[in-house]
Amino acid sequence: MGGAGHQQLSFSPPEAQHGVLPGQVRVLTLNVQHASPSRSRRQADWLAGQDADVVVLTEVTPGGHSIAQELSERGFSVHLADGGSDYLTVVASRIGKQEPVPEVRPGHLPHRCAAVRIHLDDGLTVGVVGLYVPSRGPRERRNVDKRAFQNAVVELLPDMAGELAVTGPVVIAGDLNVVERGHRPHHTVFGTWEYEFYAAFAAAGYGDAFRHCHPDGLDHSWYGRRSGEGYRFDHIFSSPVAAVVDCRYVHEPRTTGLSDHAAMTATLAVPASTL
């Protein structure tokens, strides 16, 4: 499904060295908080220093050229869609060959979704989809874009794996601006329709990587500026979820001022013989 009028952009990296772990793919997602060019440079330095093979970045400034160029110079292949004056989602990888999959595109705010098929050695492919759900929005458009984007993503989910057509796991990652039912602490602002959006991933076969690894774990990726209360806004889902061998939040970007969000990482097992 899809909206028209947006351009797919790709940036190819120079040759660079990155240590691949046999039998694993490591994914990291981070909301970059509409970073300026100078902060994008620092974010790219930090990302290059992590062990992630694939990164999903959300709340990227319109155009996205600063972070895309910085990542490309550090050995990442970068994919994003031009969204005019709105925020973007970026998927960047430094393993295999990254192939954009434009068929995975919601009908509302399509540039907030970026989907790629990554071709690893010996024929294995994995799918990575980045999502950035709008916030609740200004008073005059409260929840309009958020609800429309969520509905468009829910329509995509049942056919997403077929469109990606990969032989390995499919990962969906990003800032979803929703929390799970039973979130601690409880936030009364969230409605049933938002909890239903979170539940739609499981209904389509995508398990919550954090909950898979930490059934009763408590952690947050963003904290209210006034209340100081935590929210688990950033998520990684996987199909199959059994492929996830580790998942956690990394608070360094938040505590050092690179972003107002923590990063999130997940390690997935893939057949070792194909890497």
The pLDDT profile of the chain, 275 residues, written as one tens digit per residue, is 444 445 666 655 544 567 667 789 999 999 999 999 999 999 999 999 999 999 999 999 999 999 999 999 999 999 998 899 999 999 999 999 999 999 999 999 999 999 999 999 878 999 999 999 999 999 889 999 999 999 999 999 999 999 999 999 999 999 999 999 999 999 999 999 999 999 999 999 999 999 999 999 999 999 999 899 999 999 999 999 999 999 999 999 999 999 999 999 999 999 754 33
3-state secondary structure 70-134: HHHHCCCEEEEECCCCCCEEEEEECCCEEEECCCCCCCCCHHHEEEEEEECHHHCEEEEEEEECC
**pTM across the whole model:** 0.92
- Report which secondary-structure segment, H or E, holds 171: strand 170-175
CATH number, domain 8-274, options 3.40.50.620, 1.10.579.10, 3.55.50.30, 3.60.10.10: 3.60.10.10
| Beta-bridge partners for 268 | 25, 244
